[in-house]
Amino acid sequence: MSSNAFDARLPAGAESMTTNSPAFDQAEWRLGAACRGMDADVFYPPENERGHARSILVAKARKICEQCPVLTECRAYALAVDERHGVWGGLSETDRRKRRTYVTPTSD
């Protein structure tokens, strides 16, 4: 398999991917992923890509995710590990950032 295949390999610019974590190694759901064996670049638009051009790339990745039998598991994983790069479970970095909950400290 090539080093570009999306098989839990770290693509350029995605340093936050937690491929060394035990949870990632135990994520057997990845075996059934529609993206397994695909070029990771499909799911990781270039950092300098913005606006409409980036939206087109993200939409292509989402189309693959829509048909994936493990979409729910992939999405849950990306949210649980706070994945900051790429399209996971049909969610872009921006989508996941919007779903994060922040706790505001209270003054007691």
**At residue 87, does pLDDT exceed 80?**
yes
Would you state the pLDDT for residue 102? 60
Q: State pLDDT tens for residues 57-74.
A: 999 999 999 999 999 999
On whether 38 is known to bind a ligand per the annotation, the reply is: no
pLDDT in tens, 2-40: 333 444 433 443 333 344 454 545 578 889 999 999 999
Total number of domains in the chain? 1
On the CB side of 88, how many CA atoms lie within 13 Å of its CA?
A: 24
DSSP structure class, residue 42: G
Q: CB of 33 within 8 A of CB of 61? A: no
Domain assignment present for 2: no
- Reported pTM: 0.68
Question: Is 45 marked as binding a ligand?
Answer: no
List C-alpha distances in Å: 55 to 38, 65, 77, 81: 20, 15, 23, 24
36 occurs within a structural domain: yes
**Does the annotation place 65 within a ligand binding site?**
yes
Q: Is residue 45 domain-resident? A: yes
